Structure formats: structure tokens, C-alpha cells
Amino acid sequence: MTGRVVTYHGEGEGKTTAALGHAVRAAGHGKRVAVIQFMKGRTDTGEYRFLKDSGIEMYTAGARGFLRDGENREAHQKKVEEGMEVAREILRAQSHDLLILDELLYAVKFGLVGGEAVVELLEGRGRTNIILTGRDPPEEVLEASDIVTRFSKERHHYDRDRETIAGLDW
């Protein structure tokens, strides 16, 4: 059976959380899971620590800090390329049941990887299920997806107080 492609996108909170819920579900069924977090260089988040300790393979494919106005662009570009290669290796080996490409759609949005390259990656999935998260997916990625869910924001505390909360936001 060919693996399924799930795309979680939009400006709302919860895309990564939903994807990681699938990681927990799959691991609970004894499935092998890998998560590549694009655009994120932190390994001190609650989800990274917990999932890595639980046996889910965790990879970061982002530089420290945000990509703003070209800042850190080269470092992010290098990390995205490394993350894409890890994803290709996992799919070539057919070693995992679920591969989560967290925030990969942001890398596409910022021009660090093309939508065509993402579709090519998806086409090589074999039996591996893949989940993509981020914003503004290109049409070709949406067309290649079996499930597409858009998250929309109605309100977020960060817009008001510019604070993030450990255990809730990261």
C-alpha cells in the first residue's frame, strides 16, 4: 500500500501539535517514526525532548533564530538541504512508517526549497506516510496530498502580550 500524505497548513495554532499527535499515535502502535523540524534549530522544546526520549527519531533542520529579512538565510538554506537529504534517506530505506516534515512548507514559502522538490520527495514515499506542516503550500503540494486541513487563527495570546509559555507554546 502506498503511504498517505497529510498536509496541515494555515495561520492558526496547532499544526505541529496535530502532526506530533500522529507521531504519538503511530509509536503507540509500534510504528517507527521520524520527525524533521525544518526552520527550527532548537532542541530544548518540550516536544523535542519528550519525543526523542520516547524513541521517536528527532532531527532539526533549521538554524538558530528566525529567518527575518534574509538574516541567517545561508545557515537556514544549508540546514534545509540537510533535512531534505535525511528525508530522502529515510524514504529510500523505507525504514519508517511515518515521516513528519514539520514546517517544511515555511521553507518552501521562503524559497529555501522548491515545491517541485517537495512533490518529488512525496512521490518517493513508498509505503511511508508523510505529514507536512507550515503555511502557504504551493498548489502542487496540495494536489499531491491525500488529506489537507487548514488551521485558522481567531485569537492568540502572543499577539497581545508577545510572550510564549513553556509547555504551551514550546
Residue 41: closest CA among 25, 58, 56: 58
Answer yes or no: is 169 within a domain: no
**Contact between residue 107 and residue 75 where contact means Cβ atoms under 8 Å apart:** no
The one-letter code for the residue type at 69 is D
Please give the pLDDT value at position 136: 97
Residue 84 reports pLDDT greater than 70? yes
Give CA–CA dist 101/96, Å, rounded: 13
pTM: 0.92
Q: Do the domain assignments include residue 166?
A: no
For the cut 80, the answer to whether the pLDDT of residue 87 exceeds it is: yes
- Structure confidence by residue, pLDDT tens digits, 13-46: 999 999 999 999 999 999 999 999 998 888 888 8
Q: Residue 40: inside a domain, yes or no?
A: yes
Region 113-129: what's the mean pLDDT? 98
Pairing status of strand 5-10 against strand 129-134: parallel
> 167 in a domain, yes or no?
no
CATH number of the domain residue 153 falls in = 3.40.50.300
Q: What is the pLDDT of residues 34-83, one digit of tens each?
A: 999 998 888 888 889 999 999 999 999 988 766 765 667 888 999 999 99
Task: Kindly state whether residue 27 falls inside one of the protein's structural domains.
Answer: yes
pLDDT(119) > 80: yes
Predicted local confidence at residue 71, as pLDDT: 67
Question: What SS3 class is residue 170?
Answer: coil
Domain count for the chain, please give it.
1
In a domain, 170, yes or no: no
168 in any annotated domain: no
In a domain, 109, yes or no: yes
Of residues 132 and 154, more confidently modeled: 132
Domain range for 120:
5-161
